[in-house]
Amino acid sequence: MRQKILLISVIAALLLAGYAAYLFKTHHHGAEDEFLDSIDGAAAEEHKRPINSEYGEIINMASWRYNEADNVYYQLGILYVQRPEDEKYERMALFVPAEFMKCRANGPQTFGCEPNEAGKVGGYTVKTAPIVIPVETAKYEANPALTAYRNVSAHTKAGHIYVHVGFRGSEHGAPAGLVDIKAAIRYLRHNQEHIPANTDYIVMFGAEAGGGLASLVGTTADSPLFRPYFKDIGALERGNERIYGVMAWSPLTNFDAANEAYEWNMGATRSGLSDNQLKLSQKMAREYATYINNAGFRDMHGRPLILQYSERGVYQEGTYYQFVKETIEDSLNEFLQTSKYPLQIDENTVPPFMKNYTGFYIDKERYLRRLNDKLSWIKYDIDGSRYVIRSVEDFVHLMKQATKPLGAFDSPDRSRPENMLFGNGDGRGNHFDKFVAKILKDSSLGREYATDLKKQDALGSSVQDRLNMYTPLYFIMPSFDGYRTAKTAPYWRIRSGINRPDTALTTEINLALALANYPTVSKVDFKILWSQGKAMAEEHSQDGEAAFIRWVDTIMKDSHGFNLEQ
């Protein structure tokens, strides 16, 4: 009898244990589902996209190749994230001066290498050599990873390590491109012991949209806004994306008020607008004045810069207006002082509407006569010992005419490249201009703008959120919520052609002003260049790549006292 009771007790215990286990399993599974539902979309997406088996956290040091003509060791196709959305883009290539490597052949075309601490090129060693990264994109479009060797000997002969980063673009929706570049920087820094360079000295460079992306990398390092996107692609979560310097030619950026800036600066140069279009242009220009007066810009001496109502034009008065006017005058005077005569103005360096000013000039006086032949708008100020212009309006009518339609960056039909940039990666663009949404709030079009601003991407970020991520000023202006929530590069060089018709002068001016007043920025070398309309504008049409290399050497020498060989 006792044996039966014992047997029944054991069976009961087992049944109870099994039931308890079932309950635990059921409860635990439900909690897990609840947890997965509650975490950010990035982690959920992480479960959907598998880890690429090719990925490795450490660079394979046995896979180097050698280019004898340039004396460079290089690697192509390095996957820098675990879960790439499109591995055609999310790969990098490294190009290293051979003097920085100790290598031994391990196959017909490959070498096993390690850093050569005795190597020296251009005054740099493996412990001091900077890393330079080009940002190559025309309209924030994706940049495919390199699949073949590229001659970058101008950089490697200077002792710079050249890193090409492929990245996603507007087709994938912001902030994909920026996230990829940041992920690549984290990967490089994680491999500091294996790369014959100092990852503290990473310098980005790019023109137009590339200059805009480089500026974003330089102002958004370590921002928490990007963490879900790192998780989504399996980027290294430890480390950081801080860089040392940014070279930006004509940076296309700060889209939060780009439409309004274009109308304030250049809108008056258009002809053929309907009454409604003209009213909208003027309202957008007034919204730009509101934007400036709320932003809190200051000049290099700390003086507040504001716009004030004017009888002529739209808010063409105030200290901000005077700063823009003086920037134009500075550009003119430097050009006149540094130009060599006889002077040749090449039509390839300016927009088509300026062809009347191209040609051959024997001296400065004849050049100035040509500039004043339609309108006497430049004169010599004896008291200031410099040439001055009558107004910004005169300048733009003659030398910086609008070539984009109303809605220069966010058009009513969502057809601009920037509309695609703030789309959700589904082939359709979104509106992102909150000022137009406000102006047209009582119309169906205005409601479309307002609706788009609230649309969310797969990770739960609204268009406005992603616009913030792609606005350098959001992170470096005290009036924005993102102020000082990210790390900013200490060294900047910004160059822009004054005659470029595709963006307002204020794009570069505002960026330079904000950087110059940011507490952790060491130096901003900023110039707007006269009689230049091309993207990679340099003084007197010098080679942009050579100018960049010289600047990198200059900031390395000035900040660290390196004795660099020229």
Q: 74 with 94: CB under 8 angstroms?
A: yes
What band does 541 get if pLDDT is binned at 50, 70 and 90? confident
Task: Give the residues across from 381 on adjacent strands.
Answer: 386
Rounded to 10°, the helix 258-266/392-399 angle is 90
Virtual torsion, Cα 559, 492, 161, 166, nearest 10 deg: 160
Which CA distances in Å does 289 have to 186, 380, 478? 39, 30, 18
CA dihedral 57, 61, 62, 63 (to 10 degrees): 80
The interaxial angle of helices 41-48 and 2-38, nearest 10 deg, is 110
- The DSSP string of 268-302 is GG--S--HHHHHHHHHHHHHHHHHHHHHT-B-TTS
In angstroms, the CA 140 to CA 172 distance is 10
Name the pairing type of β-strands 523-529 and 491-497. parallel
Whole-number pLDDT of residue 8:
42
**274 pLDDT above the threshold of 90:** yes
Mean pLDDT (the chain, rounded): 91
Report how many domains make up the chain.
2
* Residues 204-240 pLDDT 10s: 999 999 999 999 999 999 999 999 999 999 999 888 9
| Residue 191 covered by a domain | yes
**Which tokens hold the place of 218?**
């330089």
Q: State how far the Cα of 284 lies from the Cα of 279, in Å rounded to an integer.
A: 9
Pair 460, 495: CB distance under 8 Å: no
Q: Is residue 311 part of a domain?
A: yes
User: If pLDDT is split at 50, 70 and 90, which confidence band does 275 have?
Assistant: very high
Question: Is 372 part of a structural domain of the chain?
Answer: yes
Our separate counts of H helices and E strands in the chain read 18, 15
**Statement: residue 3 has pLDDT above 50:** no
| Rounded average pLDDT over 97-118 | 97
**Domain holding 264: CATH number?**
3.40.50.1820
Percentage of residues in the chain with pLDDT exceeding 70?
90
Predicted confidence (pLDDT) per residue in 403-460, tens digit = 999 999 999 999 999 999 999 999 999 999 999 999 999 999 999 999 999 999 999 9
Q: How confident is the model at residue 564 (pLDDT cuts 50, 70, 90)?
A: low
Q: What is the pLDDT of residues 477-503, one digit of tens each?
A: 999 999 999 999 999 999 999 999 999
pLDDT of residue 356: 86
Which pLDDT belongs to residue 242? Answer: 97
Cβ atoms of 434 and 467 within 8 Å: the answer is: no
Cα 262 to Cα 435: distance, rounded to the nearest angstrom: 13
- Split at pLDDT 50, 70, 90, the class of 36 is very low
CB-CB contact of 181 with 213 (8 Å): yes
Output the pLDDT for position 542.
87
- Band of residue 562 on the pLDDT scale cut at 50, 70, 90: low
- 70-90 mean pLDDT: 97
- Residue 123 in any domain: the answer is no
pLDDT band at residue 48 using 50, 70 and 90 as cut-offs: low
Tokens representing 466?
A: 């992603």
Give me the sign of the Cα torsion angle 539, 545, 546, 550: positive
What is the average pLDDT across 248-254?
Answer: 96
Mean pLDDT of 457-464: 96
Helix (H, G, I), strand (E, B) or coil at 73: strand
Mean pLDDT of 119-147: 97
**Domain of residue 21, residue span:** 2-38
> Is residue 33's pLDDT more than 60?
no
Residue recorded with tokens 């969502």: 414
Would you place residue 558 in the very low, low, confident or very high pLDDT band (cuts 50, 70, 90)?
Answer: confident
Query: Do 506 and 291 meet the contact criterion of CB atoms below 8 Å apart?
Result: no
Output the CA–CA distances (angstroms, integers) from residue 120 to 124, 157, 254, 335, in the order listed: 5, 11, 40, 39
pLDDT, average across residues 365-394: 95
Q: pLDDT at residue 40 above 60?
A: no
- The model's confidence at residue 346, banded by pLDDT at 50, 70 and 90, is confident
Structural domain contains residue 303: yes
Q: Is residue 403 part of a domain?
A: yes
Q: What DSSP letter does each residue of 365-415 carry, written as one string?
A: HHHHHHHTSS---EEEETTTTEEEES-HHHHHHHH----S-SSSSS-TTS-
* pLDDT tens per residue across span 286-326: 999 999 999 999 999 999 999 999 999 999 999 999 999 99
pTM as predicted: 0.90
Tokens 């956290």, residue?
Answer: 57
Buried b (16+ CB within 10 A) or exposed e, 204-218: bbbbbbbbbbbbbbb
Instruction: Return d(Cα 548, Cα 160) in angstroms, integer.
Output: 12
Same domain, 371 and 519: yes
Per-residue pLDDT, averaged over 5-33, amounts to 38
Task: State how far the Cα of 549 lies from the Cα of 527, in Å rounded to an integer.
Answer: 17
Question: Residue 560: is its pLDDT beyond 80?
Answer: no
**CA distance linking residue 130 with residue 185, whole number of Å:** 13
Say how far apart CA 33 and CA 3 lie, in whole Å: 44
> Does residue 158 lie within any of the structural domains?
no
27, part of any domain: yes
| Residues in contact with 370: Cβ distance below 8 Å, sequence separation at least 6, in sequence order | 356, 357, 359, 361
